[in-house]
Chain A
Amino acid sequence: MFRFAIKMLFGDNAKFYGILLGLGFASLLIAQQASIFVGLMSRTFAFIGDVGHVDLWVFDPTQSYVDEPKPLRTTALERVRGVTGVAWAAPLYKGLLVATLPDGKRQLCNVVGIDDDTLAAGPGTIVEGSVADLRQPDAVMVQVGSSQQNMMFPAELAPGALPAPGQVIDPKGPKRPVQIGDIVELNERRARVVGLVRCPETFTPGPTIYTVYSRALTYAPPARRVMSAVLVKANEGVDPAELCERITEQTGYAALQPWDYSMRTLGYWMRETGIPINFGIAIALGFFVGVAIAGQMFYNFTLDNLRYFGAFKAMGASSRLLLGMVALQALVAGVLGLGLGLGAVSAFGLNAAGGKLAFKMLWQIPFIAAGAVLVICVLASVISMWKVVRLDPADVFKGA
């Protein structure tokens, strides 16, 4: 009879495709919106993960996310270095500064200054050049290949060339990406591109520019507090969690391991912004679309078949068998609809990779979508089953 149940489902073309589309659309919406949500939210702390070889971050205790401008006093570095268990501690500058390009275009940039001595916590992926080149005068490394705003130069200017006196550059003219040798101004000070790097997409707009800490300070507007964080490597055998506690105890600064700091940052964005609500609404919408379209179509499908189920019941099919048939129909529709939806999401995700969309399908997301589809199918089939169980076999003699 289960074979017949499947045939009944597939045979009712209009309803079957309606159910599939509804479920597919629901799982598409749920998985796609969840993936974008995860992708977007992971950008908030992507920078932390990109800084390698660091055991902990020391920062102002009132700072709630990595980009929050709450710098430390310069003395913080020495104080952290004085805590036992610290192998090395390096300063980090991170701030938004305006770069002026040769054609006069101004662009907001995310400037990162790393420790002059160790060059620790440098860019994760170097496309061209070497971190050591940052030791040259005015040297910076610039992010390329971002989906957001890359640094673009007028195509007519060779790397390093500045416009000749009297040369007018059309700001709308053809552009080329930044190259080694290019020169920009950061807060009226010269910066020479010595390397190209790749960085994870972040929430902050504009390309990321790496330089050494001391030079970053010359670019930054003067202020009493400029150090964004102290990056710490623990001594061999020292538990980073314990070291965090000790640093907080002795210096009064907050200290967290990278993952915990990431989660603190994520927590801020989750709590303080409308992003989760907005995506939550989209995901809930997907769910309700699924219930409304697929659930209701499935229910109608069962209603249409009720007289046949009634006939089967009269002919001696047990309620359990009929319930099994309905459950199987719901399950098959659910699996196919889910496959359809997730397939579409994956195709979408492949296209989005490298595109402007933040898209990150965690392995949990298909399961969440599957769970949602399962709930939809169970809801739809339970209401349908209720009809089937209540079916009075004597009613088959009552003309429909």
Chain B
Amino acid sequence: MPDATPSTQHAAPGGGPPPDGRPLAIRLRAVAKTFGKGESAVRALRGVDLDVPAGALTMLVGPSGCGKTTLISILAGLLARDAGELAVFGQDLGALRRDRLSAWRRDNVGFIFQQFNLVPQLTVAENVSVPLVLKGESVGAAVRKAHDILATLGLEGRGASAPLKLSGGQQQRVAIARALIHEPRLLVCDEPTSALDAELGRRVMGFIRDRSRSPDRAVVVVTHDDRIFHLADTIAHMDDGLVRSVERRAPHIEPPQTAKQGSA
């Protein structure tokens, strides 16, 4: 854990700023996860320490099977850890019961899946509206907001289409709209650009990066795609169930020009 000194970083989860001056969104200490039992047990995470800064785009990179998906599943509240500490915006997810946890995800997390998982029988706008509808908003109001956010993603007029009528890149933007419509504090993406060409991948990541620029937001992206590494504010390198190193690329709080003291 080259850059993290747990004793000095924060006393309380989500508390004071880390040494480099960035507020903290997510704090993991010695997080472990094992799948299965006995002979066939797989230790997917073997004590991960990681600080995910707020207002920044964090990438998780590493070889296949090193535990990236497992890690974002845990910090998004989809998967329970076996051991260690985890606080997301100050909330210990392990302390929440199942139904509270799903309500927490509904209120705080946006997801972008590799398979976009857009429901083909629903229109584009209806797909995008789902997080708001889940929060109790009326379908009518939610769909109107969906049209608005689709417009900001260059998809105006496409809200009434069937998702499968759109190109892969357009579908990915629909998925992004769906992940962002309820303005989640945490956005997690697993391989969001793997289905896109280089140019589209950069544009999509640029959009996601812009959304991270707020002190009460955080974005975590799992990727293999070295074409987009340069957009990251922080890159956590994983291997064999551990975070081996963290590159901090730039300061992250607006205005970005004030304190350039990125660490590596």
- Chain A interface (Cβ within 8 Å of chain B)? 1, 3-4, 7-8, 10-12, 305, 307-308, 310-319, 321, 392-394, 396-400
Contact = CB atoms under 8 A, between A and B. Distances in A.
Nearest to A316: B106
Given A393-B78, A394-B73, A308 B106 contact: no
B214 interface: no
22 contacts: A4-B119, A4-B126, A4-B133, A4-B139, A8-B121, A10-B121, A11-B120, A11-B121, A315-B105, A315-B106, A315-B130, A317-B106, A394-B78, A396-B111, A396-B113, A396-B117, A397-B72, A397-B114, A397-B190, A398-B69, A399-B115, A400-B115
A4 B130 contact: yes
A316 B134 contact: yes
A4 B139 CA distance: 9
Contact of A317 (B72, B109, B119, B134): B134
A396 B76 CA distance: 12
Contact of B115 (A1, A8, A307, A392): A307
B4 interface: no
Nearest to A10: B121
Interface string B119-136: 111100010001101100
Contacts of A318: 99, 102-103
Nearest to A311: B117
B17 to A, nearest CB: 30
A314 B78 contact: yes
Closest 3 pairs between A and B when the two form their complex, measured CB to CB = A316-B106, A11-B121, A311-B117
Contacts of A4: 119, 122, 126, 130, 133, 139
Interface of B: 69, 72-73, 76, 78-79, 99, 102-107, 109, 111, 113-115, 117, 119-122, 126, 130-131, 133-134, 139, 190
A312 B104 CA distance: 14
Nearest to B178: A315
A313 B72 CA distance: 16
A182 B180 CA distance: 91
A329 B190 CA distance: 31
A397 to B, nearest CB: 5
Contacts, number: 84
A12 B105 CA distance: 29
B197 to A, nearest CB: 19
A310 B133 CA distance: 16
A314 B79 CA distance: 10
B6 to A, nearest CB: 27
A316 B139 CA distance: 17
Contacts of B79: 392, 394
Given A1-B133, A1-B134, A311 B73 contact: no
B126 A7 contact: yes
Contacts of A393: 78, 102, 105
B50 to A, nearest CB: 18
Nearest to B113: A396
Query: Which one of B117, B122, B134 has the highest number of Cβ atoms from chain A below 10 Å of its Cβ?
Result: B117
A397 B192 CA distance: 11
A12 B109 CA distance: 29
A195 to B, nearest CB: 67
A398 to B, nearest CB: 7
Contacts of A12: 121
Given A4-B133, A307-B115, A311-B113, A316 B103 contact: yes
A314 B130 CA distance: 12
A313 B133 CA distance: 13
A315 B78 contact: no
Contacts of B133: 1, 4
A400 B190 CA distance: 13
A8 B121 CA distance: 5
A316 B122 contact: no
A11 B72 CA distance: 33
Given A313-B102, A316-B103, A308 B117 contact: yes
Contact of B122 (A8, A392, A398): A8
Contacts of A319: 102
B117 A307 contact: yes
Contacts of B99: 318
Contacts of A305: 119
B105 A316 contact: yes
A308 B120 CA distance: 9
Contacts of A1: 130, 133-134
A150 B134 CA distance: 69
B134 A399 contact: no
A367 to B, nearest CB: 32
Contacts of A312: 130, 134
Nearest to B70: A394
Contacts of B134: 1, 312, 315-317, 321
A272 B189 CA distance: 71
Nearest to A3: B139
A314 B175 CA distance: 14
B105 A314 contact: yes
Contacts of B76: 314
A194 to B, nearest CB: 71
Given A8-B119, A315-B134, A318-B99, 7 more contacts: A11-B122, A316-B109, A317-B134, A318-B103, A393-B78, A393-B102, A396-B117
Nearest to A317: B134
A321 B135 CA distance: 12
B69 A397 contact: yes
A315 B73 contact: no
Nearest to B72: A397
